[in-house]
Amino acid sequence: MADALMPPAHPFDDDKLREECGVFGVVGVTDAANFVALGLHALQHRGQEAGGIVSHHPDHGFNSARRFGYVRDNFTKQSLMETLPGSLAIGHVRYSTSGSKGQTAIRDVQPFFGEFSMGGAAIAHNGNITNADALKRELIERGSIFQSSSDSECIIHLMARSLQRRVPERMQDALRRVEGAFSIVAMTRTKLIGVRDPLGVRPLVLGKIADGGYALSSETCALDIIGAELVREVEPGEMVVIEDGEVTSHRPFAQAKSRFCVFEHVYFSRPDSILGGRSVYETRRQIGVELAREAPVEADLVCPVPDSGTPAAIGFAHESGIPFGMGIIRNQYMGRTFIEPTEQIRNMGVRLKLNVNRALIKGKRVILVDDSVVRGTTSRKIREMILDAGAAEVHFRIASPPTAWPCFYGVDTPQREKLLAATMSEEEMRDHLSVDSLKFISLDGLYRAVGEAKGRKNSSPQYCDACFSGEYPVTPADMIEKGFEMKAAE
């Protein structure tokens, strides 16, 4: 897939929510680390700050490499990949963890490794542990010495304290103490292990590689890149253990109703991935269809805010009959060029990455379709650019409900007071953005687009939608201790 379809990976893109991690693992192939590097490259949109790989070879034991930056800049070097031999490997890409935003140290880069009495194990975690502070306090009091600021390291220490004899059982013991969201890929000398939390908040899929190998991945797009076939999703609350070409399934947690992150459909996952048996691209297109039905407006042109607004804009244009056009063009080559911009360049802001197609916009009533509004800073600048280019009217249509609450399950969100929708009504946001109209898809509309024909069951929602509804499926214990106020019961 072209970078064009990836969520933004640039310091100016601070007006989006960001997925914090992607995980990938393979077993049963020669040079497993090379497969993992390819998988991580396909998952780069889930974290661009750093990546790591651990492999195991019977003669060379466990080996690991952790690096800052893109997978393609590190894990393509022959000299590095030769240090990661073996037919079993796991890897991780990260944005940043809750403990160290903006000051990541290499010690925070996963996978984490633990040497136990019955052998070593490495784990890579996507998600966030919502009781990590309490667990850490307890573990430190009992003598654990933490190497990183990552909440994920708690799992290794909890495993070390388990009295079970085998790694999968130790991991089960550890994860029963953990609250929050986790999709984990782990390995021992002989086993590849995948686990999802009881609600299945973050994704994890199982794939089969020709000649008997298996892969575990955050998303199906990373199975495609290594030619693996999707077998199925790891189910919420399930642990799969793969050894000697056999997959066994275990149920270590009490059964719970699944609450997959609905925002994976809207924004985080790649549009060429399959989630819950549905094409992400098709779901996003359908969100545009629902949005056009819920919030029609007379206009001349439907434009996506590239790139993540594109499928919804296509759906909106199709349903409304209004022509689709690329009124905003994204510069695909921002990369890390301006990682430390001068003040003058910083002031150019959004114009560095987006430019208006003046010939298309001039004199038109334009509908801009974006995936979300977080702080609203980018939306304001885009509106200015569109008007400067001679648009007659600007209408925003947003492919998610107002983001009014922070996420505590593995997505980087600003504090609540920085979220535009936390402090303003829809009308106030429209005035603040100075646009002719602003409409968000409703929660019911979003649920219909993801395949729930009757919309959201308010008494028992089918997804996690806490960043829109304020209804958190797992109580964020650490944040409440720090003063976060949950929404009052209605």
Catalytic residues: 21
> Which phi-psi region, left, alpha or beta, contains residue 334 (left: φ > 0; alpha: ψ -120 to 50)?
alpha
> Which of 445, 443, 476, 475 has the alpha carbon at shortest distance from 461?
443
Enter the tokens of residue 472. 């958190």
Q: Please tell me whether residue 38 binds ligand SF4 under the rule CB under 6 A.
A: no
Residue 371 CB, nearest approach to ligand SF4 (Å): 12
Q: Please tell me whether residue 466 binds ligand SF4 under the rule CB under 6 A.
A: yes
Interacting stretch for ligand SF4, rule CB under 6 A, among 204-212, 325-333, 404-412, 451-459?
A: 404-412
Nearer to ligand SF4, 62 or 440 (CB): 440
> 96, 148 in Cβ contact below 8 A?
no
Number of H helices, E strands in the chain: 18, 25
Q: Which of 407, 421, 449, 474 binds ligand SF4 (CB under 6 A)?
A: 407
Binders of ligand SF4 in range 130-189 (CB under 6 A): none
Nearer to ligand SF4, 238 or 264 (CB): 264
Q: Please tell me whether residue 465 binds ligand SF4 under the rule CB under 6 A.
A: yes
CA distances for 464 relative to 96, 181, 440, 485, angstroms = 22, 11, 18, 18
Residue 464 CB, nearest approach to ligand SF4 (Å): 4
Q: Please tell me whether residue 411 binds ligand SF4 under the rule CB under 6 A.
A: yes
Nearer to ligand SF4, 108 or 465 (CB): 465
Residue 61 CB, nearest approach to ligand SF4 (Å): 37
Residue 197 CB, nearest approach to ligand SF4 (Å): 11
Q: Which of 95, 112, 409, 447 binds ligand SF4 (CB under 6 A)?
A: 409
Q: How far apart are CA 428 and CA 6, in angstroms?
A: 31
**CA atoms within 13 A of residue 16's CA, in its CB half-sphere:** 26
Q: Please tell me whether residue 464 binds ligand SF4 under the rule CB under 6 A.
A: yes
Q: Please tell me whether residue 93 binds ligand SF4 under the rule CB under 6 A.
A: no
Q: Please tell me whether residue 441 binds ligand SF4 under the rule CB under 6 A.
A: no
Nearer to ligand SF4, 62 or 263 (CB): 263
Q: How far apart are CA 252 and CA 119, in angstroms?
A: 22
Cα 370 off chain centre by: 18
Identify the bridge partners of residue 184 per DSSP, sorted by sequence position: 125, 195
Binders of ligand SF4 in range 188-247 (CB under 6 A): 201
Question: Which residues neighbour 297 within 8 Å (Cβ) at sequence distance 6 or greater?
Answer: 367, 395, 397, 437, 439
Which ranges of 71-218 does DSSP label H, i.e. alpha helix? 71-74, 78-81, 132-141, 153-161, 167-176
End-to-end CA distance of the chain: 44
Q: What share of the chain is helix, strand, coil (3-state, %, to 5)?
A: 30, 25, 45
Interacting stretch for ligand SF4, rule CB under 6 A, among 48-56, 230-238, 403-411, 435-443?
A: 403-411
Binders of ligand SF4 in range 261-320 (CB under 6 A): 261-263
Question: Total residues at the site for ligand SF4 (CB under 6 A)?
Answer: 11
Interacting stretch for ligand SF4, rule CB under 6 A, among 2-10, 270-278, 376-384, 458-466?
A: 458-466
Which residues make up the interface to ligand SF4 (CB under 6 A)? 201, 261-263, 407, 409, 411, 464-467
